[in-house]
Structure 1
Amino acid sequence: MKKKPVKERIIETALIMFEKHGYHGVTVDQIVDECGTSKGGFYHNFRSKDELLYHIHDVFISYLLNKAKETYDKESDPVSRMCGIITSFTRIFDLYKPHITVFYQESTYLKGDFEKQINEKREEYRQLLQQIIREGQDNGDFRPEVPAQITTMAIMGMINWMYKWFKKEGELSIEDIARIFNDMMLHSLLTEEAMKAGKGDRFLLKTESVQ
């Protein structure tokens, strides 16, 4: 079997070790020993352990932000945009759960430009989602009495907490969970007129879909 590239091995090893021992509980020497490379190999790919932590954070946040922008451009209405973003947000826990777990456990150790760059991407994502909610309120799809800012934070908080409980081998698939989240938000946000018009029907649960 072909050996994985050094950078990939360093990241995979660091994810396991950071999650188990904490960021400050792991040294560069321990990482390179565990993954079978050298300090030269480490510093060829990362200038420091801080940059490695930044990369772990950045890889999934950049992916998430790009998916949100793609969804906004692809879909033409707020309901489809919101549900598409909720779906891609949920799916990321199937792709990057170790990265996200380390992020929530160790993000306080990001400093300087690394922290600034990550926070800017997180804020851009939040602003895009909030914009979609407001667009839905403006066109009559979403209830105006529910504040867009609180709705945005509720969506992000609901999905972010998956890092504590989602298991790939669990009873529900990631797609099942995304459908449940979309159904919950649509029943909370859609106006009576939008519901009668069938807005979001393709994102709502069917009685036989999830037990």
Structure 2
Amino acid sequence: MKKKPVKERIIETALVMFEKHGYHGVTVDQIVDECGTSKGGFYHNFKSKDELLYHIHDVFISYLLNKAKETYDKESDPVSRLCAIITSFTKIFDLYKPHITVFYQESTYLKGDFEQQINEKRDEYRKLLFQAIREGQSSGDFRPEVPAEISTMAIMGMINWMYKWFKKEGELSIETIARIFNDMMLHSLLTEEALKSGKGEQFLLKTEPA
């Protein structure tokens, strides 16, 4: 079997070690020993351990932000936009759970420009989610009495907490979990008129026949 590229091996090894021992509990020497490369190989790909931590964070945040932008441009109505954004947000845990776990455990150690760049992308994502909700309020689809700011933070908090409990081998698929989240948020946000007209129906849980 062909050996994985050095950069990929370093990242995979660091993810396991950071998650188990913490960022400051792992040295560059330990990372290169564990993944079978050299310090030269490490510093050819990363200028420092801090840059490695930044890269781990940036990979999934950039992917998440790009997916949200694609969704926003693709969907034409606020309800579909919000649900598609929630779905892509949920599915990222099936792709990047180790990255996200390390992020929440070790993000306080990211400093300077690295911290600023990550925070700017997180803020851009939050604003896009907020905008979708506000547009739904303006169109009459979402209840205006439910503050968009709180709804935005509720969605982000609800989904982000998956890093604590989501397991790929669990009983529920990632698609089912996304549908549950969408169902919960739509029943909280949709106006009675929007519900009666069938807005977002394709994103709701299906009632089992008696």
Smaller-chain TM-score bracket:
over 0.9
Deviation at 1:196, TM superposition (A): 1.1
Q: Secondary structure at the match of 2:168?
A: coil
In the alignment, the residues of structure 2 paired with residue 45 and residue 194 of structure 1 have an alpha-carbon distance, to the nearest angstrom, of: 52
Equivalent position of 2:170 in the other structure: 170
TM-score scaled by structure 1?
0.98
Q: Identity, % of aligned pairs? A: 91
The separation in 2 between residues aligned to 1:155 and 1:132, in whole angstroms, is: 12
Q: Deviations over 1:20-65 (max 9, x none)?
A: 0000000000000000000000000000000000000000000000
Q: Deviations over 1:67-104 (max 9, x none)?
A: 00000000000000000000000000000000000000
Tell me, which stretches of 5 or more residues in structure 1 are unaligned? none
Q: RMSD of aligned C-alpha atoms?
A: 0.4
Q: 1:160, 1:193 → 2: CA distance?
A: 31
SS at match of 1:199: coil
Aligned residues: 208
SS of the residue aligned with 2:122? helix
Q: Match for residue 10 of structure 1?
A: 10
Aligned position for 2:93? 93
Structure 1 distance, partners of 2:18, 2:72, is 34
Structure 2's unaligned 5+ residue stretches are none
Deviation at 1:120, TM superposition (A): 0.1
Cα distance in 2 between the residues matched to 1:27 and 1:134:
46
Superposed displacement of residue 197, structure 1: 1.1
The 5-angstrom pairing of residues 145-164 of structure 1 reads 145-164=145-164
Mapped partners of 1:185, 1:170: distance in 2: 23
Match of 1:104, SS state, is helix
| TM-score in terms of structure 2 length | 0.99
Q: For 1:157-196, what per-residue CA distance to the aligned partner results, in whole angstroms no more than 9, with x for missing partners? A: 0000000000001000000000000000000000011111
- C-alpha separation between the residues in 2 aligned to 1:19 and 1:183? 32
2:207, 2:170 → 1: CA distance? 20
CA distance in 2, matches of 1:154, 1:41: 42
The C-alpha deviation readout for 1:95-150, integer Å capped at 9, x for no partner, is: 00000000000000000000000000000000000011000000100000000000
